[in-house]
Structure 1
């Protein structure tokens, strides 16, 4: 009895399927926003990786010139 009460709070399947339309629209909006956010994060990550690689190369060059002198 208690389990069916708990499940009835979370499971709601409306008879009128048009009630799914607002949920589908909000899902689509958030899904597109998630895709753009992930692409933005990947772009920034690649940019930061390039900066780190350049910094590493400069440090290696400085160490090499200090060893030679």
Structure 2
């Protein structure tokens, strides 16, 4: 009845899948860190740009 599920007797067949999972998780963490750094730089640039304009408008 549940022939569509495949659980291998030899558990060493899981090793490539685990290695691939670890590689993708590390890659995802690196990309998220990169996005975080770029976002902080853009936020700082945005705040500096619009803070100057708000001071110019008040004078």
Q: TM-score, normalised by structure 1?
A: 0.77
Does residue 28 (structure 1) correspond to residue 22 (structure 2)? The answer is yes
Measured in 2, the distance between the counterparts of 1:61 and 1:28 equals: 50
Kindly tell me the number of residue pairs found equivalent between the two proteins.
59
Measured in 1, the distance between the counterparts of 2:28 and 2:13 equals: 24
SS in structure 2 of the partner of residue 57 of structure 1:
helix
Does residue 60 (structure 1) correspond to residue 54 (structure 2)? The answer is yes
Larger proportion of helix:
1
Measured in 1, the distance between the counterparts of 2:6 and 2:50 equals: 56
Measured in 1, the distance between the counterparts of 2:19 and 2:6 equals: 18
RMSD between aligned alpha carbons?
1.4
Residue of structure 1 in register with 2:36 after alignment: 42
**Deviating runs (4+, > 2 A) in structure 1?**
none
